[in-house]
Structure 1
């Protein structure tokens, strides 16, 4: 789904069942400028820049003047507008961080207001950056974690979720020099995905991977006639940097809120790290089911379940698929490089099929957020992340024998941890051009580009008849098997019925369109 479409409809998505008495804020006159301004404002806060009303107003004027507007009178960025902007985006002060992590208080903001502000946004202290940000578990951090544990204990384990992003170089080749390989930002954005993974404590609910790539419609999809990317089992998003931004995080919250509502859950807890792009303020009023809580800075490696092995297990399984695909292509004398379509299939399978409930439960317990086996008992099965690494090492050894010189050593741990070990150049700030592309796509959106431009012939659309014939072959294979395949055969029957329904609906739609075309034609005669 396009970013612009989500931005236009996010209130509709989130407020479908709001009480009638609840009101929506009136749409501002310069909504596009305010979106740019809010991302800039958040970025400045993360960089510890002291802001004043004058600085914010001047930046708004700069963004306003950068957008070509025809037939409109010049907008006045008055004190009244600034007050409205702060109110719309939940800004009541300009936080100033630093050695003392102090907040400059003007006459407008009293100590009482500051106390309330910290309470409303869960601020019990100000993060101290620099030398103190070493990840050491201080008494203050331990106290925060204890508060978080007590909060988690108030929720059913099925209702506690964790989301975290990870970078993934989806075409990465294994090799001895992985840990020192350096990529430029441009190259990284073409070869890199950002993937947000979300699951609950008991693994009874895994959300589809939230995948961010550089292109909205990669060539690998269009040449296969893939028209609905949701059918691939993922949520597809794009921006020029292939990274998580504030706008995309809001999109994630929209989808998450919809997901838990449809599941019939009345209140869930979503645990997040303190990444700069994780801003909840602008959509918080519409999150009626989702409560977001953030880990203290620099401790997620210890306490965040995703960082305690879940993401690593996912990458181990993903790279197993990559090596298997590479071996398969080599044996068939094909180009061993995978494309983004194949990568997405592997992402979906690695996340949805291969990570066991036992692994996820162990990682939650390892995070020390839950200590009782009564809450998260082990399930049957003893899969660990180490098992996945061992299987990957076996495949790498096979690949080395078949395809590589003797002096090249393939190390599974290095291969899985590449994104953590490599020196990947990424811009620290969003420039104005980036903000305009991300937040005002209706004005700056370009035609979709392709990640691979080649001479391959597009894949023909598969007819329903061809699909049924293919299923007949699969059905016969399963019926001839010496294994018990009854359960799988029942699933095949469901798929056959689904294809028949799709075909019937398509025919009905064509009949309706034909009818209206004939009516229009008759009226013109």
Structure 2
């Protein structure tokens, strides 16, 4: 019969908890500094040496200059015990940075590149003259409001190397230097958005003043904006969450055009103007889009034309005439909005060219909000298809796209619309639009 186990140590039976013990955070939450230079500071109790950044050395040197009577070994001890983070270095390193030569080297590093404060070591540059010329070229491009790519940097460097007679064995053959060059000079990838970069800010102010002058003659509920946008309503999401990389899915790039019109108070959103390619979409069966309550037109490109827009304006003009209303309708100067029809109850007012990214309310977030609601509805529908056991959960037809779009347009709130109008026209709550 086996012997019973014995315990040589104290009893390890956990004492029952008598009350709820709240979670106590042992470390205070620290908000990281924004746009602050990097530092090599470590916990005050740490004794491990690490290379200091140039910003750290500038801090140490400035402390020594402000306290000339303190001995160097006391400076070392002071920064080892610094509450906000220890900077660990020895007296010989400090002496080297305080020397005339060391100060000159630090100043040279500081002026070499915009990101020098974050660096721990001196960058070894084979041809500083070529790199300096390349940096000046990047600033020239930025002054012109032009982006440049890695391929353009490589080509331009080759030009400078030839112009400066750099020996063949010293020229850069690969592109590995590009990432280091960009890091040293604080160059990052940025995405350009529409036409906003080509507009004079002063011209935007003048356009807004012109708009405000016209608005005074109309009640806020009678001021409308119309704009159209492409909708890739059949395409599955191109990004998502997973624990590992997933293979891509073939995307349905079929596009339809959706046109929106709403007033400045958000109390009146006109039905979406749909434009597709098929005259009688098969998914509607024996019914038509009109029978289903949709305003649908078609052409080969599924895009807005002057003929389609003129037809829509005529119908809206008739409707407002019956209501006894006189409407101000803001539109952009797209060629498809240039019509011959002169409405009686709608005043068509065009924005100045290239201004829509600043002054058009629908471009100020209303259409973006609609598309966010559409994507959400599209993904919820995919979940329902998955629950139903469908193999292709993203398969959808035009009728279903239009129904989702209708629901998404209804989900855009009046508050969102009002805020976008105020943002576009730069109006406060006490301004022209109330």
Return the TM-score normalized by structure 1. 0.41
Query: Higher relative CO (CA 8 A, sep ≥ 6), structure 1 or 2?
Result: 1
Q: TM-score, normalised on structure 2?
A: 0.50
